[in-house]
């Protein structure tokens, strides 16, 4: 699988680390809502098809990328820096 890093260009998957499901949101740090924390930490959908997920380019620029990847075909439907501010700053779209 190849991943098109907005900074480094297309690289082999071996340069990246999977960093998990990108659809979950972290509860407020002070929240005591255990269900929200469990959902955030443990409950994962496992869709067959497009999936939003984080990959870190550990063997390259080290940024986290937000990918939409088809889990059936490995096709990468979209990619951007996870940190929104970096996208506005002129990474490759």
Partner 1 sequence: MSPRRASAGGLIDRGRSIGFTFDGRDYTGHPGDTLASALLANGVRLVGRSFKYHRPRGIFAAGADEPNALVTVLKDRVREPNIPATQIELHEGLAAESQNRFPTLDVDIGALGQLAGPLLAAGFYYKTFMGPVIGPLRGTRFWMLCERFIRHAAGLGRAGYAPDPARYEKMNAFCDVLVVGAGPAGLTAAEAAAKAGRRVILIEQEPRTGGSANWSGETISGKPARDWATALSERLAARGNLRLLTRTTAWGYYDGNTVAALERVSDHLPGAAEGVPRHRHWSIHAGKVVLASGALECPIVFPGNDRPGVMLAGAVRRYIGEYGVLPGEKLAVFTNNDSAYHAAAALKKAGGAVIAIIDVRPEIPSAARALAEEAGVAPLLGHAVVGTAGKRLSKISVQRFDAATGRLSGDVRPIDVDCLTVSGGWSPAIHLASQAGGDPVWDEARLAFLPPAPRQDWLGAGAFTGAATTAEALTSGRDAGLKAVGKRPSRAKPPTVKAPAIDPHPAPVFEIKAKGKAFVDLQHDVTAEDVRLAHREGFVSVEHLKRYTTLGMATDQGKTSNVPGLAIMAEARGLPIGEVGTTRFRPPFSPVSIGALAGERHGHFKPDRLTPMHDWHVENGARMMEVGLWHRPMIYGEPGETIEQAYVREAAAVRRSVGIVDVSTLGKIAVKGPDAAEFLDRVYTNTFSTLPGGKARYGLMLREDGIAFDDGTTWRLGEHDFLMTTTTANAGRVMQHLEYFLDIVWPDLKIHLTSVTDQWAGAAVAGPNARKVLEGCVTGTAVDTEALPFMGIVHGDIDGVPVVICRLSFSGELAYEVYCGAGYGRHVWETLWQAGVPYGIVPYGMEALGTLRIEKGHVAGAEIDGRTTARDLYLDWVLSKKKPFIGSALMDREGLIDRNRLRLVGLLSLDGQPLDSGAHIVESGGLETPGRSIGHVTAACYSPALSKYIGLALVKGGKTRHGTRAFVSDPLRKRFGPVEIASHHFFDPEGRRLHG
Partner 2 sequence: MVKRESPLGPALRPDLHGRSDGGSGVTLSEVTPTFMAEAAAWPGGKKILAAAIGDVTGLALPASPNAGALGAGAAAFSIGPERFFVAGSEGFAARLAAALPLETGTVTDLSHGRTAIRIAGPRAEWVLSKLFAIDFSADAFAVAEGRATAHHDITAQIQRTGATQFDIFVFRSLARSFWRILREASAEVGYEVLSGEG
The closest alpha carbon to 53, from 86, 73, 24, 89, belongs to: 24
Instruction: Please give, one letter per residue, the 3-state secondary structure of 19-72.
Output: EEECCCCCCCCCCCCHHHHHHHHCCCCCCCCEEEEEEECCCCCCCEEEEEEECC
Q: What is the CA radius of gyration of the chain?
A: 14
91 binds partner 1 (CB under 8 A): no
Q: Is 18 in the site for partner 2 (CB under 8 A)?
A: no
Q: Say whether residue 92 binds partner 2 (CB under 8 A).
A: yes
> Stretches 22-30, 39-47, 68-76, 78-86: which one binds partner 2 (CB under 8 A)?
78-86
As measured in angstroms, the least distance from the Cβ of 15 to partner 1 is 12
Q: Which does 88 bind (CB under 5 to 8 A by kind): partner 2, partner 1, none?
A: partner 2
86 binds partner 2 (CB under 8 A): yes
Contacts with partner 2, residue ranges (CB under 8 A): 6-9, 11-12, 14-15, 57-63, 81, 83, 85-86, 88-92
């Amino acid at each position: 699988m190849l991943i098109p890093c907005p900074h480094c260009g297309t690289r082999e998957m071996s340069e990246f680390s999977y960093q998990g499901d990108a659809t979950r949101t972290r509860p407020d740090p002070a929240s005591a809502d255990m269900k929200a924390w469990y959902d955030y930490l443990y409950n994962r959908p496992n869709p067959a098809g497009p999936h939003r997920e984080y990959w870190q380019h550990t063997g390259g620029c080290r940024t986290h990328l937000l990918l939409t990847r088809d889990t059936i075909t490995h096709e990468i439907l979209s990619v951007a820096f996870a940190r929104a501010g970096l996208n506005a700053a002129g990474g490759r779209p």
